[in-house]
Amino acid sequence: MALMSPAALQRAVPAVFVLIWSTGFVVARFGMPHAGPMDFLALRFFFSALIFIAWVAWSGARWPQGRLQWAHLAVTGLLMHAGYLGGVWAAVKAGLGAGMASLIVGLQPVLTALWLSAMVGGTGASRVRPVQWLGLALGLAGLVLVVWHKLHLGMAQPGNVALAVVALASITAGTLYQKRWVAPCDVRSANAVQLLAALVLTVPLALVETYPLDWHPEMLGALAWSVLVLTLGGSSLLYVLIQRGAATAVTSLMYLVPPCTALLAWWLFDEQFTPLSLLGLVATVIGVALVVREVPARRA
């Protein structure tokens, strides 16, 4: 059996990232009943950072050069790990429905495109083209259709909605910040720095959290998957995608996460997947395709 060529592997990266990232809500379903969000995330960041540090030491990978790069990576870690994951987990734990949380965080591609359009003034490689705007709108409409039947689940209140908005702002700002300020460096050492920064912020929050920590097998399994697959795999792929691709194209992939999550929930938990959800999935895929195909090959 022939091995995949480097070009084919590179083309497969976005699909693999979406599949891995989509398991996040499945993991939350197993882990969240047995731990507070900050407890769980502190453990996830600690073990993930430990593995990355060991990996760097074993492989001889280079650490980021200069204090400024360490600072930039720390900022992205605070935003994309502590801010994003902390906001989503805390919002759902506080009673916000997963569908509503997905919808709020799913605004990231539009927010990114609006920011880039405002910053570049409609010119240059970062300019969001009309076809891309069409794709973003179609993707957002598809996302709404996918999560529509779940929007009534959970109770939306100012507090938990605010936490989801914090997650949205964090992942958007972290993506743009990394694209602008983080110089290319080894993904293993970069992730180690990001996770250590997220751990520093999360541990104090975990210490004051009032939720009980139950070392249930479901929690341990969710933690193992979060460390070994979501962080080591998904976060690493996201870092590489941001470094190599246009910000609008990368964030548009986030539209595909809720539909993929819905399919996983249908398969694993026999959750409802309606014809409306299928229509939304098709619309989302078409929308993302329109965004990605119109993006220049390199810089955002």
pLDDT digits (tens, 9 = 90+) for 180-225: 898 888 999 999 999 999 999 999 999 999 889 999 999 999 999 9
Q: Give this prediction's pTM.
A: 0.86
Which token pair is 50?
Answer: 């430990």
Looking at residue 3, the DSSP 8-state letter turns out to be P
Determine the pLDDT at residue 246: 63
In the predicted structure, residue 117 carries a pLDDT above the cut 70: yes
Q: What is the mean pLDDT of residues 45-64?
A: 96
In the predicted structure, residue 59 carries a pLDDT above the cut 70: yes
Of 122 and 225, the one with more pLDDT: 225
> Percent of the chain, pLDDT > 70?
90
Determine the pLDDT at residue 1: 40
Determine the pLDDT at residue 296: 47
CA gap 104, 84 in Å, rounded? 12
Of 49 and 159, the one with more pLDDT: 49
Determine the pLDDT at residue 8: 62
Determine the pLDDT at residue 7: 61
Quickly state the pLDDT bin for 97 (edges 50, 70, 90).
Answer: confident
In the predicted structure, residue 238 carries a pLDDT above the cut 70: yes
SS3 of 15, please? Answer: helix
Quickly state the pLDDT bin for 102 (edges 50, 70, 90).
Answer: confident
Those residues with Cβ within 8 angstroms of residue 12's Cβ, 6 or more apart along the chain or in another chain:
4
pLDDT averaged over every residue in the chain: 85
Q: Evaluate whether 53 touches 193 at the Cβ level (below 8 Å).
A: no
- Nearest CA-CA partner of 249 in 121, 136, 140: 136
Amino acid at 176: L
Those residues with Cβ within 8 angstroms of residue 31's Cβ, 6 or more apart along the chain or in another chain:
40, 218, 219, 222, 223, 226
Determine the pLDDT at residue 288: 87
Determine the pLDDT at residue 126: 57
Query: If 0-12 CB within 10 Å is exposed, 13-18 middle and 19+ buried, where does residue 270 land?
Result: exposed
Those residues with Cβ within 8 angstroms of residue 270's Cβ, 6 or more apart along the chain or in another chain:
none
Highest mean pLDDT among 91-95, 205-209, 260-264: 205-209
Quickly state the pLDDT bin for 287 (edges 50, 70, 90).
Answer: confident
Looking at residue 235, the DSSP 8-state letter turns out to be I
In the predicted structure, residue 32 carries a pLDDT above the cut 90: no
Q: What is the mean pLDDT of residues 136-158?
A: 82
Which token pair is 124?
Answer: 């240059």
Of 272 and 46, the one with more pLDDT: 46
Number of other CB atoms surrounding residue 31 within 10 Å? 25
